[in-house]
């Protein structure tokens, strides 16, 4: 599991972004919630779950959407998620 | 293979459209410049008729050169204007994001919108001109009489005016007939003014 704090332009929307991230290899589920909306940009929290998340590829995909990762807020790895909530 | 390529193109178009809203702008330019092209041809045809030009090839070549010039002017004007506006918006967004966005979807969509709007602006008057003048092409080949070509061209012009008006009416949810007639009035104004100028001797024919 990977939780990212991301700054993105208002367009493309989080719907497009979630769809694109969800189609990536190794990603089983995506959740994006909006934390803050400004005039042209928004800060979102992206939660990704999957059997083999590739951070480099995820970063590259976000980059194509014009987004920037502010911080990596949570990472969980291994055979068992310690605190899935 | 072709279907997959078309699908990719369609997806790309949709995502660019969501980012830039380019089809709305292109639609506006299409109506505006097709109207410009058709109205210019209308004036040219009436002028040629009043000057008793009986050579259809002459009318066609003069008309097409004019349509080409309007098309090129549309391409340059719309592309440069649109590119400048889009770049300005992109710069603002880049300042908010504190990063360059040229290689992102947003940068790509922004460039695609400029090309598309420029293309539509160039093609619409050119196509309107070509359709309007097509009877003279047939007259040049001896298929129809020059008189009929004049009448057919003027009829096509009125058809284009009305069609563009009706199209606008459909967009604005106004009654298409009223909207079509509004556009037709522009053509009638040109016709009336030309005839008035001609009968007063200002046009010298």
User: pLDDT tens, B10-33?
Assistant: 888 888 888 888 888 889 889 989
Six token digits for residue B202? 């200002």
Task: Work out the mean pLDDT of chain B and round it to a whole number.
Answer: 90
> Which residue does chain A place closest to B101, by CA atoms?
A66
pLDDT of B169 > 60? The answer is yes
Fold of A2-75: Alpha-Beta Plaits (3.30.70)
pLDDT digits (tens, 9 = 90+) for B71-121: 999 899 889 999 999 999 999 999 999 889 988 989 999 999 999 999 999
Q: Which residue of B has its CA nearest to A16?
A: B15
Residue A39: its pLDDT value, please? 87
Structure letter (DSSP) for residue B64: H
B54, B146 in Cβ contact below 8 A?
A: yes
Residue B1 has pLDDT above 70, yes or no: no
Is the Cβ–Cβ distance between B29 and B82 less than 8 Å?
Answer: no
Cis peptide before A12 (omega within 30 of 0): yes
Task: Return d(Cα B105, Cα B91) in angstroms, integer.
Answer: 15
pLDDT tier at B204, thresholds 50, 70, 90? low
Mutation to test the A interface, candidates B13, B95, B99, most A Cβ within 10 Å? B99
> What per-residue confidence (pLDDT) applies to B203?
64
Q: Which residue ranges make up each domain of chain A?
A: 2-75
- Beta-carbon pairs below 8 A across chains A and B: 43
Q: What is this structure's pTM?
A: 0.79
What is the percentage of chain B residues whose pLDDT exceeds 70? 98
Cβ density class B88-103: b for 16+ within 10 Å, e for less: eebeebbeebeeebee
Q: List helix spans (H) across chain B.
A: 2-20, 22-50, 56-97, 105-140, 146-172, 176-199
Q: Which residue has the tokens 């083999």?
A: A52
pLDDT of residue A78: 85
The answer to whether B106 contacts A11, with C-beta atoms less than 8 Å apart, is yes
Mutate to test the interface with B, among A8, A10, A11, A64 (most CBs of B within 10 A): A11
When CB atoms are compared, the residue of A12, A41, A68 closest to B105 is: A12
Q: Is the pLDDT of residue B205 over 60?
A: no
Angle between helices B2-20 and B105-140 (to 10 degrees): 110
Residue with tokens 């066609």: B60
Q: Do A64 and B18 touch (CB under 8 A)?
A: no
pLDDT at B171: 87
DSSP conformation letters of A19-49: HHHHTSTT--EEEEEEEEE-SSEEEEEEEEE
Judge: B106–A12 Cβ closer than 8 Å, yes or no. Answer: yes
Give me the mean pLDDT over the B116-145 stretch.
Answer: 93
B106:A7 CB<8 A: no
Pair of tokens at residue B129: 């001109």
Q: What is the mean pLDDT of residues B142-151?
A: 93
Q: List Cβ neighbours of B203 (8 Å cut-off, separation of 6 or more).
A: B47, B50, B194, B197
Q: Measure the CA–CA gap between B130 and B16, rounded to whole angstroms.
A: 30
* DSSP single-letter state for residue A1: -
Lowest mean pLDDT among B28-32, B47-51, B170-174, B197-201: B197-201
Task: Name the residue of chain A whose CA is nearest to B21's CA.
Answer: A11
Picking from B92, B123, B91, B106, the residue whose alpha carbon sits closest to that of residue B26 is B123
Check B97 against A12: CB less than 8 A apart. Answer: no
Q: Which residues contact B65 (CB under 8 A, 6 or more apart)?
A: none
Which distant-in-sequence residues (6+ apart) come within 8 Å of A38 by Cβ?
B96
Are A11 and B96 inside 8 Å of each other by CB? no
> Which residue among A11, A41, A63 places its CB closest to the CB of B19?
A11
Of B28 and A48, the structure prediction assigns the larger pLDDT to A48
Binning pLDDT at 50, 70 and 90, where does residue B131 land?
A: very high
Continuous segment of H or E residues that includes residue A70 = strand A68-75
**pLDDT value at A84 more than 70:** no
């Amino acid at each position: 599991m990977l939780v990212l704090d991301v700054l993105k332009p208002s367009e493309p929307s989080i719907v497009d972004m979630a769809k694109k991230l969800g189609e990536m290899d190794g990603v089983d589920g995506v959740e994006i919630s909006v934390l803050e909306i400004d005039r042209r940009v928004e800060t979102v929290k992206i939660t990704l779950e999957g059997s083999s998340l590739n951070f480099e590829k995820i970063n590259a995909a976000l980059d194509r959407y014009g987004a920037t990762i502010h911080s990596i807020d949570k990472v969980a790895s291994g055979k068992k998620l310690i605190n899935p909530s | 293979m072709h279907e997959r390529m078309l699908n990719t193109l369609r997806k790309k178009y949709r995502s660019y459209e969501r980012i830039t809203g380019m089809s709305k702008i292109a639609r506006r330019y299409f109506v505006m410049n097709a109207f410009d092209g058709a109205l210019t041809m209308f004036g040219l045809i009436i002028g040629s008729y009043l000057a008793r030009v009986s050579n259809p090839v002459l009318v066609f070549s003069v008309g097409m050169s004019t349509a080409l010039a309007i098309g090129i002017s549309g391409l340059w004007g719309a592309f440069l204007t649109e590119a400048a506006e889009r770049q300005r918006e992109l710069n603002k967004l880049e300042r908010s994001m504190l990063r360059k966005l040229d290689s992102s979807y947003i940068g790509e969509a922004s460039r695609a919108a400029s090309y598309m709007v420029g293309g539509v602006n160039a093609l619409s008057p050119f196509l309107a001109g070509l359709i309007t003048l097509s009877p003279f092409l047939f007259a040049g080949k001896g298929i129809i009489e020059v008189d009929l070509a004049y009448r057919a061209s003027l009829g096509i012009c009125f058809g284009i005016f009305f069609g563009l008006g009706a199209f606008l009416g459909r967009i604005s949810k106004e009654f298409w007939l009223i909207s079509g007639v509004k556009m037709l009035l522009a053509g009638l104004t040109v016709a009336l003014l030309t005839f008035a100028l001609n009968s007063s001797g200002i046009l010298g024919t």
